């Protein structure tokens, strides 16, 4: 069986695109990094892919608000293609800045704003996988996922998180400390189809056990962020 | 009709920036009214309809978290915006957004609005603006509302002028140097005058400025290239010294390490530990800019050192930062005129490092923070970068005929004369007159440069960054062996109206110069277009050995590159050798638990967690050894360890710095900081035989005999250590003239500060010890020998004793190299469960940090010295603490003869010392972190 194709979508200032491509490769995908401008010129890479990830970073330097300008680029250049990609069963993920982009572009519910503490924070967090979520990316993952976070605008807010949760759109919650003040400790949300997920933490930076800061005292394999990418690859293989 | 509009955007929940202002104001003892709010303001100019405004507001404002208004706001407020020409990323983004949305906006600017309760007194507002809310070096502020100049006034460009110097006498030359801020001495100006007299003409202003930049202390390292007479206490010459740079270079040549690919040549050193994979390494200072505009100074310092690595055609992979500030709790009235409070400097510098590193996407993995009153007005900011490459070949160009190509950011009036500015001492007026020397960086522009240039190495024959001196240094250095002919009219400008010398000298950020064979131009253009990098052909390399710079076709510089680079007269300096106290003196009457808790809380030793959390140290997924470690991630690590998920070997980065040792005994400090950097990398598994070093000296004015004597001593100490460890220096940088002339007329120098960065090979990632204690009943073993070394110690610091009063700074340990090799063998054999180096605060602090990291206790029966206080707090070199399981003890002792079992690890969370002293782990954690214990 051939490896499913995955596209890592990048723009000016995206910086975790290589990490994301590596995670996808490690999960068994055939991944390539494409700039939004590349995809606008030639959308075939997106058409032939079954997985797409808007990678993290500081697109356009976060000027005028995190993700705002890249969301505009995405909507201007790729809106129809991205819509078709999801409608045709593609799996779309936005990580950190990519999550900010997808909420700004209206593909995911809620907004992301400045961390409650008012500062960028880099740390490791534990993520509870919400069991009754409709999210395909997190489907069947039991143990908490451990991942680093690195963001200044990661506080997710929404007017009605209860209904979202009831409908299974909350996919991931912070276990223990809520690092940014997100409503209900939400770390990741999905759309109504369950195929589009956004999250602030960086599962792409926990794909081998030695990346875990407490390797030796916990069993990192049970908590790898890689599980998310494996799920997507398995699902794409049908 | 074209008119100006302004959009005020407010956060619906409390703006975290307002809370930060309250916090900082409280810290500084300033009155800050409850209810102070912060808003963003966007200014734009254009012929806009109501529909345009609605589209813009919808695109710019998140209605879930923000409100906005196009109305002119009222009320008690202050608005701040960037001075004309200072980088305004939000304005650039606003123009981009308007273009995408097809809205005719012709100019934009951004600002901040501080809204005060109506009853706030004018004094309170004025003090907050002055101390906290605005920096006049890069910003302007107004009461009420501000109207930024949306377009920069274009001044008529005057042609290059000639400056009559050939007939000036010594006094007149000195006056000329002072008036123009050339930072050249009379002898140098006389050589220049004679050169032009021989040519039968006067120099142009551009030529004179070019020479001043190229011959500046910053670029030419005149002190390190000077011959030196050493004087004794009676002023008699006792020795003649070769230049310090020669001492450092000879040290590297004599060590002849096989892994060195390039040392002291080009922008960075290059080593090759794994065959086919090279590492470029460099550390830089950005001290003076950080003193007057901390955010921008540190920001562009990081940007500059990243370009140094890019300038060796290596992909930057990680950043380091070593920061020296004045006391955080300095009373406001003790901050000299024209200086910022140390806490404001620290906040700005840390934000500046974080902003650049986080945005460009490089992990900040290693560093240190040092506090000392002498850094109050002259903070030190050392930024380092490493990068990697596969199959790197040293660039051989430029070749005659290659195009001279400028890449990256546009050129403005920013950063003019930075090289000469940093070569002068500072005084109370520095902030206002040197405004143009400081810039705010744009990390995304530099990220795009990296994206465009890495992988394009086959398209250029030479590359260098545009740093201090701007194009004059970059093109001047590249043209050294061939000559160049460039046209300034082609340089893309941020705004019109720059004079020739301004374009040539501008230190506008995020620019690189490459030499490109004509046949490669098209491919490079395509790459640059894809990545959104501006690329400009400004001329070519000629082969005739002349540097010709034109403006509108007319030459404004026409000098031989030989004179530019080799014409400078060598300096001859004098120095008095320091005579440090080296009498071993014990310390008596010290309560160990009181001293230990005070040490853990000392600003140089307490947890750097609050700073490190602001840096992304995880990006890339390669940071296996993090700067903060332990099961609660709040204890300090020894060194960073980098290895990408697919790598089988790693790179360790360790830092050594100790200005207290420097004040007491600069020569021994030179040794001790090399030893410290090496101890640190060995502790995380590095091979002691594959270590490369960087040296960064920040000292005072070298024309003072004692200061130069300290520098000579430090160079001697660090080169002796490097030879002993066979660890070569591959690059270095000196920053001298770190002094401040106060309003009292007295000059204040920084302590002799030498930062050593060790970059080392970790051959095997199987066993990666950290200071984290692993399991009860394991043994605690001290490796090395403890002497009575309290000179410049942190124990003296917390006891309040002047550190140079008595006692000796740690002496060189001749057995250390062999012992580190033995320790490395133990680590590779899997015999070492935890490992920590002993440094400031000695054994007691190291042990406490291991307990904090592992949230375990220890019970000790020995301290490695008969005198308990010496055993606990002496700072002797060459020592580690290791955790060993009892069945491995015999093997460890066989490999490391100088090892002493001190005690064992306990589950009980207490540090138990011989003689009955007990210190609760909870107390250690609280002292170290300033917080209560979360979990034990």
Q: Is the Cβ–Cβ distance between B752 and B663 less than 8 Å?
A: yes
Tokens 């061939």 sit at which residue?
A: B482
pLDDT at site B66: 94
B286 is annotated as an active-site residue: yes
B447 CB neighbours in chain A (<8 A) are 12-13, 15
| Active-site choice (A60, A151, A153, A204) | A204
Question: In the numeric block, which tokens belong to residue B543?
Answer: 């082969």
- Cα–Cα dist B292/B434, whole Å: 9
Q: Mean pLDDT lowest for which of B156-170, B245-259, B831-845?
A: B156-170
Q: Output B420 or B655, whichever has higher pLDDT.
A: B655
Question: For residue B777, is pLDDT > 50?
Answer: yes
pTM: 0.95
Instruction: Say if A119 is an interface residue toward chain B (CB within 8 Å).
Output: yes
Q: Across all residues in chain B, what is the average pLDDT?
A: 92
pLDDT at site A216: 65
Task: Tell me which residue in B616, B624, B629 faces A150 most closely, judged by beta carbons.
Answer: B616
Closest chain B CA to residue A103: B62
Closest by CA position to B751, among listed B790, B716, B711: B711
Instruction: Say if A19 is an interface residue toward chain B (CB within 8 Å).
Output: yes
Cβ contact, residue pair A76, B626, below 8 Å: no
Instruction: Say if B99 is an interface residue toward chain A (CB within 8 Å).
Output: no
pLDDT band at B469 (very low <50, low <70, confident <90, very high): confident
Q: Is the Cβ–Cβ distance between B304 and B283 less than 8 Å?
A: no
Closest chain B CA to residue A209: B645
pLDDT at site B647: 96
Cβ contact, residue pair B65, A111, below 8 Å: yes
| Active-site choice (A60, A151, A158, A202) | A202
Question: For residue B422, is pLDDT > 80?
Answer: no
pLDDT at site B701: 92
Question: In the numeric block, which tokens belong to residue B397?
Answer: 């160009």
pLDDT at site B906: 98
A115 CB neighbours in chain B (<8 A) are 16
- B284-321 in b/e burial notation, b at 16+ Cβ within 10 A? bbbbbbbbbbbbbbbbbbbbbbbbbbbbbbbebbbbbb
Question: For residue B408, is pLDDT > 60?
Answer: yes
pLDDT at site B309: 97
CB-based contacts of B332, cutoff 8 Å, min separation 6 = B28, B29, B30, B131, B341
Cβ contact, residue pair A72, B97, below 8 Å: yes
Question: For residue B152, is pLDDT > 80?
Answer: no
- Cα–Cα dist B9/B71, whole Å: 11
| Active-site choice (B43, B52, B286, B748) | B286
- Cα–Cα dist B89/B340, whole Å: 25
Strands lying side by side in the sheet with B739-741: B426-427, B739-741, B747-749
pLDDT at site B936: 33
Q: Is the Cβ–Cβ distance between B309 and B464 less than 8 Å?
A: no
Q: Mean pLDDT lowest for which of B331-335, B417-421, B546-550, B726-730?
A: B417-421
Task: Tell me which residue in A73, A118, A210 faces B20 most closely, judged by beta carbons.
Answer: A118
The residue among A15, A62, A117, A180 with the most chain B CBs within 10 A of its CB, best to mutate, is: A15
pLDDT at site B933: 47
Q: Is the Cβ–Cβ distance between A156 and A98 less than 8 Å?
A: no
Question: For residue B7, is pLDDT > 90?
Answer: yes
Task: Tell me which residue in B93, B358, B619 faces A64 most closely, judged by beta carbons.
Answer: B93
Closest by CA position to B356, among listed B298, B282, B299: B299
pLDDT at site B428: 44
Angle of helix B666-683 relative to helix B705-725, nearest 10 degrees, comes to 30
pLDDT at site B934: 43
- Cα–Cα dist B690/B820, whole Å: 12
pLDDT tens string B447-464:
999 999 999 999 999 999
Question: In the numeric block, which tokens belong to residue A85?
Answer: 């990609």
Angle at B302 between CA B607 and CA B415, to 5 degrees: 135
Question: For residue B266, is pLDDT > 90?
Answer: no
CA distances from residue A173 to A133, A178, A216, A220, B646 in whole angstroms, order as listed? 11, 9, 25, 19, 30
Task: Tell me which residue in B442, B614, B618 faces A61 most closely, judged by beta carbons.
Answer: B442
Question: For residue B808, is pLDDT > 60?
Answer: yes
Closest chain B CA to residue A13: B444
Angle at B685 between CA B679 and CA B690, to 5 degrees: 75
A96 is annotated as an active-site residue: yes
pLDDT band at B413 (very low <50, low <70, confident <90, very high): confident
B100 CB neighbours in chain A (<8 A) are 72-73, 76
pLDDT at site B430: 44
Q: Stretch B554-580: mean pLDDT, rounded?
A: 94
Question: For residue B434, is pLDDT > 50?
Answer: no
Cβ contact, residue pair A12, B447, below 8 Å: yes
pLDDT at site B440: 82
B443 CB neighbours in chain A (<8 A) are 58, 61
pLDDT tens string B660-709:
999 999 999 999 999 999 999 999 999 999 999 999 999 999 999 999 99
pLDDT band at B414 (very low <50, low <70, confident <90, very high): confident
pLDDT tens string B269-285:
999 999 999 999 999 99
pLDDT tens string B190-215:
999 999 999 999 999 999 999 999 99
> B579, exposed or middle or buried, with CB in 10 Å at 0-12, 13-18, 19+?
exposed
- Cα–Cα dist B55/A74, whole Å: 17
Closest chain A CA to residue B628: A213
Q: Is the Cβ–Cβ distance between B473 and B467 less than 8 Å?
A: yes
Instruction: Say if A153 is an interface residue toward chain B (CB within 8 Å).
Output: no
Closest chain A CA to residue B444: A13
Question: In the numeric block, which tokens belong to residue B128?
Answer: 């907050």
- Cα–Cα dist B439/B447, whole Å: 17
pLDDT at site B406: 98
Q: Output B658 or B84, whichever has higher pLDDT.
A: B658
Phi, psi of A131 (to 5 degrees): -70, -35
pLDDT band at B361 (very low <50, low <70, confident <90, very high): very high
pLDDT tens string B919-935:
999 999 999 998 754 43
A58 CB neighbours in chain B (<8 A) are 358-359, 361, 443-444
Q: Mean pLDDT lowest for which of A31-40, A134-143, B431-440, B820-829?
A: B431-440
Q: Across all residues in chain A, what is the average pLDDT?
A: 95
pLDDT at site B743: 59
Strands lying side by side in the sheet with B364-371: B260-262, B269-274, B277-285, B380-390, B315-325, B364-371
- Cα–Cα dist B666/B808, whole Å: 11
Q: Which of residues 86-105 of A touch B (CB under 8 A)?
A: 104
Cβ contact, residue pair A61, B615, below 8 Å: no
- Cα–Cα dist A140/B524, whole Å: 48
Q: Is the Cβ–Cβ distance between B303 and B357 less than 8 Å?
A: no
Q: Stretch B323-351: mean pLDDT, rounded?
A: 90
B613 CB neighbours in chain A (<8 A) are 119-123
Question: For residue A177, is pLDDT > 80?
Answer: yes
Q: How many A/B residue pairs have CB atoms within 8 Å?
A: 139
Q: Stretch B856-860: mean pLDDT, rounded?
A: 98
Closest chain A CA to residue B64: A111
pLDDT at site B795: 95
CA distance B41 to chain A (A): 11
- Cα–Cα dist B936/B285, whole Å: 40
pLDDT band at B352 (very low <50, low <70, confident <90, very high): very high
Reduced to 3 DSSP states, what percent helix, strand and coil does chain B have, rounded to the nearest 5? 35, 25, 40
- B470-507 in b/e burial notation, b at 16+ Cβ within 10 A? bbbbbbbbbbbebbbbbbbeebebbeeebbbbbbbbbb
pLDDT at site B564: 94
Closest chain B CA to residue A115: B16
Task: Tell me which residue in A38, A64, A114 faces B16 most closely, judged by beta carbons.
Answer: A114
Question: For residue B252, is pLDDT > 90?
Answer: yes
């Amino acid at each position: 069986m051939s490896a499913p194709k995955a596209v890592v979508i990048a723009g000016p200032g995206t910086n975790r695109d290589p990490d994301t491509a590596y995670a996808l490769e490690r999960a068994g995908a055939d991944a390539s990094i494409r700039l939004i401008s590349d995809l606008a010129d030639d959308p075939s890479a997106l058409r032939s892919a079954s997985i797409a990830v808007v990678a993290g970073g500081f697109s356009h330097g976060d000027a005028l608000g995190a993700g705002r300008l890249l969301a505009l680029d995405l909507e201007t250049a790729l809106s129809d293609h991205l819509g078709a990609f999801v409608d045709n069963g593609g799996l779309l993920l936005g990580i950190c800045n990519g999550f900010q982009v997808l909420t700004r572009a209206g593909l995911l519910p809620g907004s992301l704003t400045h961390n409650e503490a008012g500062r960028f924070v880099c740390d490791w967090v534990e993520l509870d996988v919400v069991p009754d979520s409709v999210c395909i990316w997190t489907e069947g993952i039991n143990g908490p996922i451990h991942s680093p976070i690195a963001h200044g605008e990661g506080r997710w807010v929404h007017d009605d998180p209860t209904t979202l949760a009831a409908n299974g759109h909350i996919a991931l919650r912070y276990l223990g400390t809520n690092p940014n003040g997100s409503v209900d400790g939400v770390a990741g949300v999905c759309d109504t189809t369950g195929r589009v997920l956004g999250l602030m933490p960086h599962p792409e930076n926990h794909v081998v056990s030695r990346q875990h800061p407490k390797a030796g005292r916990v069993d990192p394999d049970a908590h790898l962020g890689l599980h998310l990418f494996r799920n997507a690859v398995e699902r794409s293989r049908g | 009709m074209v008119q100006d509009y302004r959009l005020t955007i407010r956060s619906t929940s409390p703006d975290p920036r307002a809370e930060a202002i309250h916090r900082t104001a409280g810290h500084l003892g300033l009155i800050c009214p409850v209810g102070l709010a912060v808003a963003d303001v966007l200014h734009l100019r254009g012929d806009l309809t109501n529909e345009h405004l609605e589209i813009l507001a919808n695109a710019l404002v998140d209605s879930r978290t923000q409100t906005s208004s196009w109305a002119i706001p009222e009320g008690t407020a202050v608005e701040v915006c960037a001075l004309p020409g200072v980088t305004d990323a939000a304005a650039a983004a606003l123009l981009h957004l308007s273009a995408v949305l097809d809205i005719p906006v012709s100019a934009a600017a951004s600002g901040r609005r501080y809204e005060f309760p109506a009853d706030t007194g004018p004094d309170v507002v004025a003090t907050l603006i002055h101390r906290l809310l605005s920096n006049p070096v890069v910003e302007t502020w107004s009461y009420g509302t501000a109207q930024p100049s949306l377009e920069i006034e274009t001044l008529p460009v005057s042609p290059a002028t000639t400056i009559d110097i050939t007939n000036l006498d010594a006094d007149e030359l000195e006056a000329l140097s002072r008036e123009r801020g050339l930072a050249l001495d009379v002898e140098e100006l006389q050589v220049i005058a004679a050169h032009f007299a021989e040519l039968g003409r006067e120099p142009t202003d551009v030529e004179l400025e070019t020479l001043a930049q190229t011959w500046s202390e910053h670029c030419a390292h005149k002190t390190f290239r000077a011959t030196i007479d050493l004087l004794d206490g009676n002023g008699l010459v006792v020795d003649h010294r070769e230049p310090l740079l020669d001492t450092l270079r000879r040290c590297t040549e004599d060590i002849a390490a096989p892994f060195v690919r390039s040392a002291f040549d080009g922008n960075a050193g290059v080593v090759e530990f794994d065959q086919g994979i090279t590492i470029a390494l460099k550390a830089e200072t950005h001290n003076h800019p950080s003193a007057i505009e901390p955010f921008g100074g540190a920001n562009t310092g990081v940007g500059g050192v990243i370009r140094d690595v890019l300038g060796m055609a290596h992909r930057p992979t990680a950043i380091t930062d070593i920061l020296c500030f004045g006391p955080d709790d300095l009373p406001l009235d003790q901050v000299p005129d024209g200086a910022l409070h140390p806490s404001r400097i620290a906040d700005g510098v840390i934000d500046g490092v974080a902003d650049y590193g986080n945005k460009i996407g490089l992990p900040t993995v290693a560093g240190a923070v040092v506090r000392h009153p002498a850094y109050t007005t002259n903070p030190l900011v050392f930024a380092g970068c490493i990068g990697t490459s596969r199959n790197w070949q040293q660039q051989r160009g430029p070749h005659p005929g290659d195009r001279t190509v400028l890449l990256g950011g546009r050129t403005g009036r920013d950063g003019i004369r930075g090289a000469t500015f940093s070569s002068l001492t500072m005084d109370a007026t520095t902030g206002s007159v040197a405004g143009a020397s400081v810039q705010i960086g744009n990390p995304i522009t530099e990220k795009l440069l990296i994206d465009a240039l890495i992988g394009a190495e086959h398209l250029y024959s030479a590359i260098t960054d545009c740093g201090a001196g701007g194009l004059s240094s970059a093109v001047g250095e590249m043209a050294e062996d061939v000559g160049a002919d460039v046209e300034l009219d082609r340089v893309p400008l941020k705004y019109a109206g720059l004079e020739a010398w301004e374009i040539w000298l501008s230190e506008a950020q995020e620019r690189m110069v490459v030499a490109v064979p004509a046949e490669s131009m098209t491919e490079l253009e395509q790459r640059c277009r894809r990545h959104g990098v501006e690329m400009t052909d400004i001329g070519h390399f000629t082969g005739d050995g002349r540097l010709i710079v034109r403006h509108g076709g007319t030459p404004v510089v026409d000098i031989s590159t030989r004179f530019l680079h080799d014409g400078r007269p060598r300096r001859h300096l004098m120095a008095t050798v320091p005579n440090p106290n080296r009498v071993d003196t014990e310390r008596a009457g010290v309560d160990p638990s009181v001293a230990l808790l005070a040490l853990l809380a000392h600003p140089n030793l307490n947890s750097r967690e609050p700073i490190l959390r602001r840096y992304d140290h995880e990006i890339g997924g390669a940071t296996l050894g993090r700067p903060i470690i332990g099961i609660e991630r709040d204890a300090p690590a020894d060194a960073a360890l980098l290895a990408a998920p697919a790598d089988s070997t790693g790179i360790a980065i360790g830092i050594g710095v100790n200005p207290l040792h420097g004040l007491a005994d600069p020569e021994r400090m030179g040794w001790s900081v090399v030893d410290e950097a090496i101890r640190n990398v060995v502790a995380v598994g590095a091979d002691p035989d594959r270590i490369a070093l960087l040296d960064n000296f920040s000292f005072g004015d070298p024309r003072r005999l004692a200061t130069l004597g300290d520098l000579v001593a430090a160079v001697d100490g660090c080169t002796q250590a490097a030879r002993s460890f066979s660890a070569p220096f591959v690059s270095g940088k000196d920053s001298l003239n770190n002094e401040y002339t106060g309003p009292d007329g007295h000059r204040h120098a920084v302590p002799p500060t030498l930062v050593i960065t060790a970059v080392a090979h970790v051959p095997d990632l199987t066993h990666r010890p950290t200071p984290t204690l692993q399991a009860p009943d394991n043994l605690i073993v001290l490796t090395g020998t403890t002497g009575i070394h309290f000179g410049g110690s942190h124990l003296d610091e917390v006891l309040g004793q002047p550190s140079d009063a008595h006692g000796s700074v740690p002496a060189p340990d001749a057995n250390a190299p062999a012992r580190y090799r033995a320790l490395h063998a133990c680590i590779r054999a899997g015999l070492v469960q935890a490992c920590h180096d002993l440094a400031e605060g000695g054994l007691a602090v190291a042990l406490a940090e291991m307990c904090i990291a592992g949230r375990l206790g220890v019970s000790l029966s020995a301290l490695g010295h008969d005198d308990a206080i010496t055993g606990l707090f002496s700072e002797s070199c060459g020592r580690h603490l290791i955790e060993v399981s009892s069945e491995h003890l015999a093997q460890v002792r066989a490999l490391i003869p100088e090892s002493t079992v001190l005690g064992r690890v306990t589950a009980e969370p207490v540090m138990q010392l011989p003689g009955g002293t007990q210190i609760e782990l909870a107390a250690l954690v609280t002292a170290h972190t300033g917080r209560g214990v979360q979990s034990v």
